[in-house]
Structure 1
Amino acid sequence: MFITKFVERPGLGCAGRPIKVKANFFEVTYLADTKIHHYDVIITPEVPPTLNRRIYSQFEALFAGDIKPVFDGRRNIFTARPLPFGDTDSFDIYPPEDASFSIIRQPPYAFKFIIRKVAVIDMNELHKFLYGNCSLSSNILTGIMALNVLIRHQPFLNCKAIGRSFYTNQISQDCFDGVELWQGYRQSIRPTFTKIMINVDVSATVFHESNDLVLIVTKMLGRNIDDLRVGIKEKDRLKLEKSLKYLKIRIIHRGDGSRRSYKILNLTSTSASNTKFDDGDGRIDVASYFLNTHNRLLRYPFLPCVVIKNKTFLPLEVCEVVEGQHHIRKLNERQSADMMKFSCRPPQHRAYKIRQGLDILNYRQNEYMRQFGLEVSGEMTVVPARVLPAPKIHYHHPFFHDTTSFVTKDGSWNLRDKKFVTGVTLGSWACVAFGYFSIQIIQCFIRELVITCQDTGMNIQNMHPPIMQGNPQGNIEEILKQAWLKAGNTSKSHPQLILCILPNAGVPLYAEIKRVCDTIIGVATQCVQSKVVFQAKKQHCANLCLKINVKLGGMNSFIEPSQIPFVSQRPTIIMGASVTHPADESRPSIAALCASMDAKAYRYAASIRIQAGRQAIISDLAGMVKELLETFYQTCKVKPVRILFYRNGVSEDQFEQVFDLEIEAVRNACRSLDANYKPTITFVVAQKRHHVRFFPTDKKDSDRTGNCLIGTVIESTIAHPFEFDFYLQSHAGLQGTSRSTHYHVLCDENRFTPDSLQTLTYNLCYSFVRCTRAVSIVPPVYYARLACSRSMFHLRCENWSDPDSGSAYFYIVAHSRLQNVMYFI
């Protein structure tokens, strides 16, 4: 009997040192073997989920009797017993008289609440699934959904719900520019080894500060109110208008207890004392109107007015911002820094916050959960884990024509006394400084960079490259072409590299440099920020050397071949795929596939495609795989007999689509090359976007940041009931609580054991080319992400002068000179 179309777990691994860790999972200690009744709900007219819940609350109070139904805010209601009015009924729900329901204007001023019973869920089937006695069915999926709705129902009624998280201003922090940070919690039902668990994690997001609008405005502008008496400059007014548009405000001058809210449409271009309108008796300014009509002398008549519907003008001082409004605009640099500090907590603090969240969730006193017969442990689950040993890393021996190896400590190392395995020769290059820098400072930096490159084994033939200065707002393409010509003319050879010094970390200049050099000129580039140039530290230069050597075709280091036998013993290609979705849904998504091109799984090549925006499945995966298989054959002169494919960027509910479409696409690519070519395929999904966190139970099993040790692998207790998956923490924590990567095997024709796949995956994480530390996700996936990000700069709109015109986008491939090197690093 096949209980899954994916791979069943072949057993448990034993490699490494066994330890215990805590996971942010709380066991469901009791779940009644009952039937759950599922109802479909239609509420008209349609309103947002927050208002739906308020309408539902009135339905529950008036018509549910002693039954405690739970509601998902949209269409689904679940109950432990049948509702008292039969399988179908409809009700008129009259909303409370407040601002939230101001969208309803005309009589009868009621919502129609239509409810219909659609299913009865047998929870016994879920218990069978946990023990591996049946496959995942629609009944089980609906049962899991019902339990998720149950645990989220009460928090979502009492707190501010955003997505699957809820937030409370009880734990908040002021931020810059009129916003504040709120801490929240996210919880979800997870079926695991023989048990149901609840995964609880902290989250954080940004809300608009609830306060007087005048105070908010002064914070946004970073000015004192007295500084604004001379008026607001037009650029500041436009900044305010952009920030305040569609923000909900409440008026406070009437004194009638009105709680109605209004949306800000824009700001007036004139002050309240100069903004005039027709009040029926002639034209009057807003300040005079408020004095005559409301006996209110404005304190700040020099500030503009907000405009609400019907072109009504309101002075800022009679408005206050409604509480609990989610801030959805992009944060500025200061706000982002505050957000990082607020949310990036060390493991002990995060574990404390999670336990603190149980008091807010209050499972024991939850009357809804009691009625469904759900009881939850108050302690984090202790999970068996293992710490895998680190692999040996090879560098070139500084005194012999051979390599030397070493084992890292804590997953990181440095380049001191080490030389690259293959250091390239750099003879033709140039430097472009975008901005105005002292030539002496640039020369000092280049001197330090050249010395570091030579120390690490590169051969720098031209130690004094030509230096040019360019205007960051000028014609970037022309400047780079001139630099390319100057490099070639100076060395009488083909240019290899353009070193670009940037004035800041801004994206537009960087993007244009990469677009021009990647797609038009066809030369490697290395960008460096001005602050690095001014300091000229050895460590910064060493990091640049790592990237430059690889971009020019060199090899920095490699893993001991005996520790990656799957790759080294037979011709094997390792692939990593990812899809990037732009924030603007009118732009296309970009899919990238990176594949290894040698027996050491060190050099990679990339294949890029654009596809429909927000589409997760890779449309032309077969073409991309074929392209890289051909490149592998041209490079290695042999066809790979095994394929190990890591796929990033898909969620669990997309696994079946990936299995049906993408794995078949890989097979089709092989068949298109030769009908008899059938390499064995292992397909693994690698997920970073999850809310599973692990905490050491013993100090000796933690690193200096308090996180679990590098190499910690977890494959039982909180993993899938019977499918082949595991969590691997392959990097050393730098700050905050480290997030492991979740690997889930969908197809395995290579018949990996848990130890062999976990060890191979972990060891590969030490081969990432642009740093001297193990990384958090297997490198081919990391490279695919980098290739996606770089390719965003290669997109062009047919109507380049107006990208918002709805014109189609097209992708410009990298220049032929860069096709087989890792230009995207």
Structure 2
Amino acid sequence: MSQKLTEFVLRPGQGKIGRPVRVRANYFEVTELPVDNIIHYDVTITPDVPPALNRKIFEKFEEDNFIVGLGGCRTVYDGRKNIFAPRILPFGETATFDVTLPNDDEITGITRNVRSFKIKIKKAGEIVMTELHNFLRANGPMTSGVLTAIMAIDVLIRHLPSMQYVTVGRSFFTSNGSMALFGGAEVWQGYYQSARPTPGKMMINIDLSATAFYEGGPLIQMVIKLLGKRNHDDLRRGLNEKECIKIEKAIKNLKIRVIHRGVQNTRRRFKIAKLTSTPANMTKFETEHGPMDVASYFQRTYNSPLQFPKLPCVAVKRDVYLPIEVCEVIEGQRHIRKLNEKQTADMIKFTCQAPTLRANKIKQGVEILNYRENKYLAPFFLKISNEMANIPARILPAPTIQYHRTSREQKCVPRDGVWNLRDKKLATCATLGAWSLVAFGAEREFPIQSIQAFIRELVISCQEVGLHIPNRSPPIMHANPQGDVDSVLKQAWLRAGNAVQAQPQLIVCILPTTGESLYAEIKRVCDTEIGVASQCVQLRHMMQAKKQYCVNLCLKMNVKLGGMNCYLAQDTVPFVSERPTIIMGADVTHSSPGDASRPSIASLCATMDAKISRYAASIRVQTGRSDIIADLANMVKELLRNFYQACGRKPERILFYRDGVSEGQFTHVLENEIKAVRAACRSLDASYRPTITFVVVQKRHHTRFFPVDRNSSDRTGNCLPGTVIEQTIIHPFEFDFYLQSHAGLQGASRPTHYHVLHDENRFKPDDLQILTYHLCYVYARCTRAVSLVPPVLYSHLLCRRARYHARLDSWTEGSSTEANGVPSSFGNVKPDLAKVMYFM
């Protein structure tokens, strides 16, 4: 039975531990699902055009052929290759239709004079809806037919919004309630919708989304904003070369319309190719009267002198130049360039909404979608509830956290996912003797008195939590942040050792700004060349030297030096304490799309003892954008050896949390990576076969939970830490659950989705859920429960850190690479450093 239903793990029942509560989820039930087969057609539109125009062509085709060609049948279209119909269309297996767009239509992406298209429609098959019904009832497996049926429902619910609104992926956007961002951009509110299979029924997941668009309106207004000018008058003298380069980079490929030829001509669109190198009064082109500059042409042709003749023109095609002042940016164009810091901060403010507000806006989105009056849903007999799902949940108990036995408070049970270090000493305290401090800046910016005051506060804070610092006066250096960082750090390392005649342990670096380049170089040199822990501090924090900040530094420093901050009481994690167990977390990160210069980074983190608070790490650089960890077998082998060296025993059980995997990759990851883990075990000993549980961790989803009453909510209005959901909105029969393990800070918290792909340890739901939740309390950087298991969070930190290990600035644009795409001087972390949590 299990082999037929799924290659993954069947749900082994429901959990019972925890306080039962009700929560609302942003899921809306499909109350009536098509029973009859849906007819699937393949469509080809020639000439080839972008999806946005495809939809216009399809809309005109439907309008012209609704009665005869389509037999009065409403069909839905995905904008590319697929049409779905509730019944077989009159033309039979295949037909070709001619479509002509009207002359006043707004055409984008093709030559303006191409207005005639051919649509070829060919029957591709029938979607057997009983397959989907069987899957939802756990009577049949996930087949290609089930996937196609779910895709058809997705197209059904997206068809009308895609015709009416700007769409990006699964979201549609409206400019209502938009907010201006710095520099000629604005953020639009969007609504995401997706059809999701759940036990016994389909649900529609609806959530808020937001993305940046270019502000519509006069192009000259955008130029003012991009350059940070006060008003139009600041542009009358023209632009300098640097400003021209900045503007051209920002507006290239932007679609515009012209406003100087009357309302009837404003529908004609152009795409900006570049800026002219000369102003309008010096940019010449050939006319029937001979060469003429653009400013004179406009004066002569339109009897209207240009207000800004000293500004360059935009070139939209060869020898077609338009003055900036006659151009308007067409609204609804997505801002695809990277947002700057100010824009990102404004975007976060816009998207960060309290849970109640988010829930209300989602309801508004349902009203905008108006499923009940959607003329395309009725022919398919698809009906969707307007009410958010109200589902059962449980709040799991918090664990007991233990500190050093000499603490006044040795144990604590956190309340609402948060606690503090008052009356507590770190579980295993390191001794910091050989250290030094480097201030990257001149002495007038980094006064020696301020540095010494900071050191005093740091030492006091460390001693209060138990970190022993016998050397309270470390050597202090000042260095040029633009200088030779490599030699500065090596000199600091020597001074640290010479001061106390011991092996250097730590270099504290004070940085003038939050800029990435200096920080990256410090980490590269310390991690891969010197092999010493480093701790960076921003100048503003050093000057203030606040107690809480210094305590947070102590937490990081202690684990970097091999200490342990806290651990879970043995009885709260029986799975780990009963038999030698290793918990691993893995992740793969890729460069941003289009940036082929950066490699992909794979990371693996693993616990080193039964207290599951000490970790060792392994990282690899790999080419391509594959989500499979290429050298996983050797990485696992490294960490198994480290575990054996630390404990003197081989792990009998492996719990592997894997991040960065989408549903479509589950099979591929399962086949490749479990095989790699087994191969690592066999390579150490042919008879070594620990039991393996493999769990995928997902944060990139649109599921949100909202408490029904105050007793199940925290002070931010979010669900309480430990809220677990394993009914109604989960997979029809596989072993998965949602866990909101952290206390909300701001906005609506995002739960983490855990999906078990392989389980030789035969976890009961309660056991895996509680172990996963309790792990979230021993993240070394803070005294609060975190949103996902620490091994995965640590693997995120590792991936980020590994980007800095290339000498040739692989973390910035334009870096030098070898033919295989890996930076040509990628350093390896020194072996002794890899055994401690240097990446914190």
Same fold (TM over 0.5): yes
- 1:392 equivalent to 2:400? Answer yes
- Within 5 Å, give how 1:138-287 maps onto structure 2: 138-223=144-229, 224-255=231-262, 256-279=264-287, 281-287=289-295
Q: CA deviation at 1:230?
A: 3.1
Q: CA deviation at 1:258?
A: 4.3
- Within 5 Å, give how 1:547-626 maps onto structure 2: 547-583=556-592, 584-626=595-637
- 1:470: which partner in 2? 479
Amino acid at match of 2:11: R
- How far apart in 1 are the matches of 2:750 and 2:328? 40
- 1:370 equivalent to 2:354? Answer no
After the TM superposition, which of the residue ranges 168-177 and 448-457 deviates more from structure 2?
168-177
Pick from 7, 12, 15 the counterpart of residue 14 of structure 2.
12
Contact conserved, 1:277 with 1:285, CA < 8 A, in 2?
yes
- How far apart in 2 are the matches of 1:803 and 1:100? 41
Contact conserved, 1:155 with 1:361, CA < 8 A, in 2?
yes
CA 1:33–1:747 in 2, change beyond 3 Å: closer, same or farther?
same
- 1:809 equivalent to 2:833? Answer no
Identity of aligned residues (%): 59
Contact conserved, 1:683 with 1:748, CA < 8 A, in 2?
yes
Helix, strand or coil for the counterpart of 2:24? strand
- 1:334: which partner in 2? 342
Pick from 26, 33, 36 the counterpart of residue 35 of structure 2.
33
Deviations 1:709-741 (A, max 9, x none): 000000011111111110000000000000000
Pick from 647, 651, 654 the counterpart of residue 658 of structure 2.
647
Helix, strand or coil for the counterpart of 2:401? strand
Pick from 676, 701, 714 the counterpart of residue 665 of structure 1.
676
After the TM superposition, which of the residue ranges 429-438 and 269-278 deviates more from structure 2?
269-278
Helix, strand or coil for the counterpart of 2:410? strand
Pick from 60, 68, 72 the counterpart of residue 74 of structure 2.
68
After the TM superposition, which of the residue ranges 631-640 and 249-258 deviates more from structure 2?
249-258
- 1:51: which partner in 2? 53
Amino acid at match of 2:349: K
After the TM superposition, which of the residue ranges 508-517 and 170-179 deviates more from structure 2?
170-179
Deviations 1:657-702 (A, max 9, x none): 1121111221121122222111101110010000000000001210
Deviations 1:402-442 (A, max 9, x none): x8111011111122221111111111111111123111111
Q: CA deviation at 1:232?
A: 2.4
- 1:822 equivalent to 2:832? Answer no
- Within 5 Å, give how 1:423-572 maps onto structure 2: 423-436=429-442, 437-572=446-581
Helix, strand or coil for the counterpart of 1:168? strand
Contact conserved, 2:187 with 2:210, CA < 8 A, in 1?
yes
Helix, strand or coil for the counterpart of 1:378? strand
CA 1:477–1:37 in 2, change beyond 3 Å: closer, same or farther?
same
Q: CA deviation at 1:104?
A: 4.7
Deviations 1:742-782 (A, max 9, x none): 00001111011000000000000001111111110001011
- How far apart in 2 are the matches of 1:289 and 1:472? 53
Q: CA deviation at 1:235?
A: 2.3
- 2:423: which partner in 1? 417
Q: CA deviation at 1:55?
A: 1.3
After the TM superposition, which of the residue ranges 740-749 and 406-415 deviates more from structure 2?
406-415
Contact conserved, 2:86 with 2:380, CA < 8 A, in 1?
yes
Amino acid at match of 1:643: I
- 1:360 equivalent to 2:368? Answer yes
- 1:756 equivalent to 2:767? Answer yes
Q: CA deviation at 1:330?
A: 1.1
Q: CA deviation at 1:32?
A: 3.2
Deviations 1:527-558 (A, max 9, x none): 11111112110000011000000001011111
Q: CA deviation at 1:283?
A: 3.9
- How far apart in 1 are the matches of 2:222 and 2:800? 36
Q: CA deviation at 1:107?
A: 7.9
Contact conserved, 2:605 with 2:791, CA < 8 A, in 1?
yes
Q: CA deviation at 1:219?
A: 1.4
Q: CA deviation at 1:35?
A: 0.8
After the TM superposition, which of the residue ranges 223-232 and 141-150 deviates more from structure 2?
223-232
Contact conserved, 1:797 with 1:809, CA < 8 A, in 2?
no
Helix, strand or coil for the counterpart of 1:518? helix
Helix, strand or coil for the counterpart of 2:586? strand
- How far apart in 1 are the matches of 2:522 and 2:288? 60
Contact conserved, 1:22 with 1:696, CA < 8 A, in 2?
yes
- 1:42: which partner in 2? 44
Helix, strand or coil for the counterpart of 2:523? helix
Q: CA deviation at 1:110?
A: 2.4
CA 1:765–1:37 in 2, change beyond 3 Å: closer, same or farther?
same
Helix, strand or coil for the counterpart of 1:622? helix
Q: CA deviation at 1:59?
A: 2.0
- How far apart in 2 are the matches of 1:23 and 1:776? 18
Q: CA deviation at 1:594?
A: 0.7
Deviations 1:299-346 (A, max 9, x none): 122322222210422211110001110001111121111100111101
TM-score, length basis structure 2: 0.95
- 1:680 equivalent to 2:682? Answer no
Q: CA deviation at 1:804?
A: 5.7
Pick from 284, 291, 294 the counterpart of residue 299 of structure 2.
291
Q: Which runs of 5+ in 1 are unaligned?
A: none
Contact conserved, 1:39 with 1:76, CA < 8 A, in 2?
yes
- How far apart in 2 are the matches of 1:622 and 1:150? 44
- How far apart in 1 are the matches of 2:828 and 2:591? 19
Amino acid at match of 1:667: R
- 1:111 equivalent to 2:117? Answer yes
Amino acid at match of 1:744: H
Contact conserved, 1:470 with 1:479, CA < 8 A, in 2?
yes
Amino acid at match of 1:142: T
- How far apart in 2 are the matches of 1:782 and 1:102? 44
TM-score, length basis structure 1: 0.97
Contact conserved, 1:582 with 1:613, CA < 8 A, in 2?
no
- How far apart in 2 are the matches of 1:747 and 1:805? 38
Contact conserved, 2:597 with 2:814, CA < 8 A, in 1?
no
CA 1:376–1:675 in 2, change beyond 3 Å: closer, same or farther?
same
Query: Size of the alignment, in residue pairs?
Result: 823
Contact conserved, 1:394 with 1:559, CA < 8 A, in 2?
yes
Pick from 78, 96, 99 the counterpart of residue 102 of structure 2.
96
Amino acid at match of 2:276: T
Pick from 359, 362, 369 the counterpart of residue 351 of structure 1.
359
- How far apart in 2 are the matches of 1:517 and 1:183? 44
After the TM superposition, which of the residue ranges 3-12 and 581-590 deviates more from structure 2?
581-590
- How far apart in 2 are the matches of 1:213 and 1:102? 18
Contact conserved, 1:795 with 1:809, CA < 8 A, in 2?
no
Contact conserved, 2:428 with 2:565, CA < 8 A, in 1?
yes
- Within 5 Å, give how 1:647-796 maps onto structure 2: 647-795=658-806
After the TM superposition, which of the residue ranges 77-86 and 285-294 deviates more from structure 2?
285-294
- How far apart in 2 are the matches of 1:708 and 1:647? 25
Contact conserved, 1:430 with 1:497, CA < 8 A, in 2?
yes
- How far apart in 2 are the matches of 1:700 and 1:641? 41
- How far apart in 1 are the matches of 2:268 and 2:392? 55
Helix, strand or coil for the counterpart of 2:377? helix
